[in-house]
Amino acid sequence: MAVSQKFLLRVHLTTDVVVKVSLTKRPESVEELITILREKLNPRLDFEFTLQYEDPDFDGQLTCLLDIQELPEKGTLKVVRSESDVSSCASSDTDILPHVPLAQRLKCWPDTFPVPTFSYEVEHLLEEGNRAFEMSGKHSSPKAQHLGDHGFSDAHLQSLSDSCYHSSISGCVEVSFNAGRRSVNNPEGEHPHSNIKRARRAEVNYLPNFPRGEDQVSLEDMRVQIKNEVEKTEPNKVMIEKLMQTTFALRRHEIVQDNPMVKNFLEKWPALRFDSQVSICAEFHQVTNINLRNQFYAELDRHTPRLMALYRQKAARTGKISEALRTILNHYDLQAPDINVKRTAVLRALPVYLREEDPEFFKTCNISADTLDESTLIDTPVALLTVVTDGASQTSPVHFTSSSMAVVVEGDLVMRDIPRFADAFALLFGLIYALHLDYPRKLVHTFTFVQKIFMGLVDGKPLKPCLHALKNDLLLKE
């Protein structure tokens, strides 16, 4: 006895609606299959459509079903609405404007317009306006406070005020922290427009609430637990990472509200120094919801060819900036081709191209006997320290083969033993976000360019003319 052939079809009606249809035999034609689907899935398929199927010969790519013999016994179909049906639906009775016959459109404007009858109050206002026009010959102009949008503006401001009030009393820290300033009931309070704590560089988690079920006391206990674990000979990295994620809100409260010294804060949270490269990347991800390394290197490598071309165009001219760029590029041309060397050249020449100069930011020190004199860094607010070995020239504008890199903040070596210049630059940028630091005063344009162009952290503020011009130059094709 022959086994009856059975067809199982998985039919995609829309993007979110998928149904299963069972057939006892193969239809004679595609039209018969469409008719069967109409009967089984009525009223969902009450429109004109065609069918596509996943072709096994092309790794499941969708193909128009023209021959019913091409349909496998267990296949996937997709319903595609016909264009004629879509166009007919678009001109249905749901249109906003009614259809006007062509004959009416060709008619001229009437000589007299019938004036409708208004309410008593409106008629009274019109009579007063006509009387004033007869006496002065001028039309009355409503004042700004009488215009219709004025009431909408007041209502909108009141709605925002109510929203802030309810958010404050419900426990939203970002709102409640700026509340309680000078008012009628608090005349001695701080000025309402001074020292406002809010996200200024596109931070996603600027001042988050404590995790559910946790308070400041419980999170402080976790901080002490982290500190004790770091001091062990073999610390548990998994536990430290988990506790650091849980206590993120506590760190943000301390950073934003108390604005502590970097050295004191890192002593309180030693896990940020322990495996600092991983910790800073994790902190940056929690603040911005962006992977620091992936985003930074992807955009840096994407813009490197165009930036190098712009640098060489500028270096071919005359002037102090062109000479500085020419020196960096000449040192780069002497190096062996390497992606890290190219990244170093691009980042080192970027502030020069933007006409920024800070000799205290790019520092070089000669290390001997594996020792580093930190006393020379006491008065350094923020810097990238290039560590070179004996015999290397410290006067060179850029070192492509340094022994290691270090990050200095407020005279303290925050991170050291960083292998490459690009890594140190990215980690410093992440550290600025993690500790809520200001950009270096003389390199604001450079870090703003990295923030908005490389990292995609757009804060709503317009770009400066020099940054806007560089952004447009990057979009041009050679």
Q: Tens digits of per-residue pLDDT, 16-45?
A: 888 888 888 888 888 988 888 888 888 778
Q: pLDDT tens, 339-365?
A: 999 999 999 999 999 999 888 899 888
The per-residue pLDDT of the chain, averaged, comes to 83
Q: How far apart are CA 359 and CA 351, in angstroms?
A: 11
Q: What pLDDT sits at residue 89? A: 47
Ranked by mean pLDDT, which of 117-131, 182-196, 435-449 comes out on top? 435-449
Please state the rounded mean pLDDT for residues 100-112.
66
| Local confidence band at 252 (pLDDT 50, 70, 90 cut-offs) | very high
Looking at the predicted structure, is the pLDDT value of residue 233 above 60? Answer: yes
Looking at the predicted structure, is the pLDDT value of residue 224 above 90? Answer: yes
Q: What pLDDT sits at residue 97? A: 54
Please state the rounded mean pLDDT for residues 50-55.
88
Among 427, 414, 103, smallest CA distance to 292 is for 427
Looking at the predicted structure, is the pLDDT value of residue 122 above 80? Answer: yes
Q: pLDDT tens, 53-93?
A: 888 888 888 888 888 888 888 888 898 887 655 444 444 44
Q: What pLDDT sits at residue 13? A: 86
Share of the chain above pLDDT 70, in %: 78
Looking at the predicted structure, is the pLDDT value of residue 309 above 50? Answer: yes
Q: What pLDDT sits at residue 281? A: 93
- H or E element that contains 379: none
Pick 205 or 113 by higher pLDDT.
205
Looking at the predicted structure, is the pLDDT value of residue 470 above 80? Answer: yes
Do 301 and 307 meet the contact criterion of CB atoms below 8 Å apart? no
Give the pair of three-digit tokens for residue 381: 């607010």
Pick 241 or 187 by higher pLDDT.
241
Domains and CATH numbers, the chain: 7-86 (3.10.20.90), 167-179+196-274 (no CATH), 301-475 (no CATH)
Share of the chain above pLDDT 90, in %: 38
Looking at the predicted structure, is the pLDDT value of residue 3 above 60? Answer: no
**224-228, 372-376, 399-403: least confidently modelled range:** 372-376
Q: What pLDDT sits at residue 161? A: 66
Pick 107 or 285 by higher pLDDT.
285
Distances (CA, A) of 269 to 212, 224, 247, 274, 279: 22, 9, 10, 9, 11
**90-104, 107-121, 322-336, 399-413: least confidently modelled range:** 90-104
Degrees (nearest 5) of the Cα angle 366, 367, 372? 110
Q: What pLDDT sits at residue 86? A: 47
Q: pLDDT tens, 141-153?
A: 666 555 555 666 7
Strand arrangement, sheet containing 362-366: 362-366, 382-388, 404-409, 412-418
| Local confidence band at 135 (pLDDT 50, 70, 90 cut-offs) | confident
Looking at the predicted structure, is the pLDDT value of residue 227 above 70? Answer: yes
Beta strands 7-12 and 18-23, pairing class? antiparallel
Looking at the predicted structure, is the pLDDT value of residue 154 above 90? Answer: no
Q: pLDDT tens, 164-191?
A: 656 665 566 666 666 655 565 666 666 6
| Local confidence band at 320 (pLDDT 50, 70, 90 cut-offs) | very high
User: 85 Cβ partners below 8 Å, 6+ apart?
Assistant: 47, 48, 49
| Local confidence band at 1 (pLDDT 50, 70, 90 cut-offs) | very low
Residues in the chain: 478
Do 387 and 411 meet the contact criterion of CB atoms below 8 Å apart? no
Please state the rounded mean pLDDT for residues 440-447.
94
Q: What pLDDT sits at residue 182? A: 57
DSSP 267-335: HH-GGGTTTHHHHHHHHHHHHHSS-HHHHHHHHHHHHHHHHHHHHHHHHTS-SHHHHHHHHHHHHHHTS
